[in-house]
Amino acid sequence: MSRVTFLSRMTVKAGREADYERLCSQLAEQTRAREPEVIYYEFFRLREPRRYAVLESFRSEDAEHQHLESEWFKAVAPAIIECLEGPYVREYLDAF
């Protein structure tokens, strides 16, 4: 299977920015330390107020699914989602 890479953009509820950043930092640290099939995994603060993004790249679709099923993802994802205002938008990036 081929690499899976995407950029997700989201808006965080007013007043929840610090919570969101703390939770995402914890998730990114655990992901990078424990998932060897992750090529890249980093959160970003965008220049618009309360806007954020995460860039994720996995060696395969299976690696992405393993990430979503990991204990560290399942432990923090609900709290991250609670910080969001509205849905996030995922854009898949295909290398050429």
**pTM for the predicted model, two decimal places:** 0.92
Are 51 and 85 within 8 A, CB to CB?
Answer: no
CA–CA distance, 35 with 66 (Å, rounded to integer) = 9
CA–CA distance, 39 with 31 (Å, rounded to integer) = 10
Q: Which residues have C-beta within 8 Å of that of residue 53, sequence separation ≥ 6? A: 7, 8, 9, 10, 43, 44, 46
pLDDT tens sequence across 37-91: 999 999 999 999 999 999 999 999 999 999 999 999 999 999 999 999 999 999 9
Q: Where are the domains of the chain?
A: 4-92
CA–CA distance, 90 with 6 (Å, rounded to integer) = 7
pLDDT tens sequence across 12-31: 999 999 999 999 999 999 99
Domain 4-92 = CATH 3.30.70.100: yes
